[in-house]
Amino acid sequence: MIPQGGTLANDPGTVQQPSKTYRIDPISKRIVGTIDSLESVKQTVSQILQTERFEHLIFSSNYGAEVANLQGKSESYIRAELGRRIRTALLQDDRILDVQDVNISVNGDEVLAVFTVVTQFGSFEAQKGV
């Protein structure tokens, strides 16, 4: 006899994990309480962009941004690649929905990318320098 039906009465589906995490004070480099929602995503964006991808074994290969090898490249190459690399790095976090309005400015040998991060909690502006 073959069983019929096969559905679960209480199908949990996809469960969104909480966004609450420890707040790291950027000045003292110490944990100073907890944060949630948009503040948590802002801290995560900062940490992702400060971590070079594939450099630290403690992080998965999906964590961090590949920006160190842009140093010394031509201005046109950096303009073409930096926005894409930032977007790729940040979209690994499922709380981040999009990275928009990427504006890259070059001043001598310094490059600054300013962009808007759209999250499920709201939007905010962030930046990354190379």
- The structural domains of the chain, with segments of one domain joined by +, span 21-129
- φ, ψ of residue 105 to 5 degrees: the values are -120, 140
What is the band of 100 on the pLDDT scale with cuts at 50, 70, 90? very high
> Which two tokens mark 39?
């503040």
Q: Write down the pTM of the prediction.
A: 0.80
Q: Chain-centre distance of CA 26, in angstroms? A: 17
Nearest Cα neighbor of 96 from 67, 118, 66 is 118
- Residue 119: Cβ within 10 Å count: 22
**Measured distance CA(59)–CA(78) in Å, rounded:** 25
Give, in order, the Cα–Cα distances in Å from 118 to each of 6, 68, 83.
Answer: 39, 25, 15
Q: Chain-centre distance of CA 106, in angstroms? A: 23
Q: Which CATH number fits domain 21-129: 3.10.620.30, 3.10.450.40, 3.90.226.10, 3.40.50.150?
A: 3.10.450.40
What is the band of 110 on the pLDDT scale with cuts at 50, 70, 90? confident
**pLDDT tens digits, one per residue of 20-50:** 899 999 899 899 999 999 999 999 999 999 9
Give yes or no for residue 69 having a pLDDT over 90.
no
Q: Which has the minimum average pLDDT: 5-14, 19-28, 46-55, 70-79?
A: 5-14
**How many Å from the N-terminal Cα to the C-terminal Cα in the chain?**
66
**Measured distance CA(34)–CA(47) in Å, rounded:** 16
Tell me whether strands 21-25 and 30-35 are parallel, antiparallel or unpaired. Answer: antiparallel
Sign of CA pseudo-dihedral 40, 46, 50, 51: positive
